[in-house]
A = this chain, B = another copy of it.
Amino acid sequence: MRVVAQRPQSLTSARTHYCPGCTHGIIHRLVAECIDELGLREKAIGICPVGCAVLAYDYFNFDMLEAAHGRAPAIATGIKRILPDACVLTYQGDGDLASIGMAEIVHASARSEKITVIFVNNAVYGMTGGQMAPTTLLGQVTTTSPYGRKKEETGFPIRMAELLATNEGSAYISRVAVNTPANVIKAKKSIKKALQTQMNGLGFSMVEVLSTCPTNWGMAPLEALEWLEQNMIPYYPLGEFKVKEA
């Protein structure tokens, strides 16, 4: 018998601290598989966010740096400018990237930094216990929008992929989801494309991944996947928003 599925080399053997059914785990695996398949593990430098993925440095099996909240793109810039041949990727949540880190991500994209950003949009602040994120949907209940997010008070969820696509510096921008086998396979393709965009020196690349937070959504893992399908995808359409060819 041949092995059709096993742990990629770019992941350590550490057991993750993620809640049951949290799709952060799936996304970690996809990133690791892409790094493996592109043979980039020994060139890879990963930057983890402050967020539930803060411990990613224990999970990814290559050089890692733990960033200050939201600043991963600036840190990635500092690294990539000095090590132009490295494969530099940031892994950021929606609070990290779309809230506190807004300036850093917009400017990394504008400067066309040759880095790859994995943007995990789960519409909530997971690590800190379920506060509202800039990507929280209207009506969604969180600990800081206890009566449901209202546009009168908080405006509208930000579509980062669309926003960053307006920057000429963006070379590859896409949005994927990991709620079904089909979407997981697509997500992996997109992540690989983003990494290739970086290694081909085309410019800034980002994959926004719609992900679940069963714990803070207050749902069973399977319900969460369903909720993502029903609520997130309609507001956050999947697809490629910017594709700069070599």
Contacts and interface: CB of A to CB of B under 8 A. Distances in A.
Contact of A112 (B156, B159, B203): B156
B111 A154 contact: yes
A138 to B, nearest CB: 10
A40 B12 CA distance: 63
Contacts of A155: 109-113, 167-169, 203-204
A156 B110 contact: yes
Interface stretch (A59-67, A100-108, A189-197): A100-108
A107 B112 contact: no
Nearest to A159: B166
Interface string A147-177: 0000100111111001100111100000000
Contacts of A103: 100-103
Contacts of A166: 159, 162-163, 166
Contacts of A109: 155
Nearest to A169: B155
A134 interface: yes
A156 B168 contact: yes
Nearest to A158: B110
A134 B159 contact: no
Contacts of A158: 106, 110, 167
Interface centre among A102, A113, A159 (most CB of B within 10 A): A102
Interface in A110-166: 110-113, 134, 151, 154-159, 162-163, 166
Interface of A: 99-103, 106-107, 109-113, 134, 151, 154-159, 162-163, 166-169, 203-204
29 contacts: A99-B107, A102-B102, A102-B106, A106-B106, A106-B163, A107-B134, A110-B134, A110-B155, A110-B156, A110-B157, A110-B158, A111-B154, A111-B155, A112-B151, A112-B156, A113-B155, A155-B167, A155-B168, A155-B169, A155-B204, A156-B167, A156-B168, A156-B169, A158-B167, A159-B166, A162-B166, A163-B163, A163-B167, A166-B166
Given A113-B155, A162-B166, 8 more contacts: A101-B103, A102-B102, A103-B103, A106-B106, A106-B163, A155-B169, A159-B166, A163-B167
Q: List 3 tightest A-B contacts by C-beta distance, closest first.
A: A112-B155, A156-B168, A111-B155
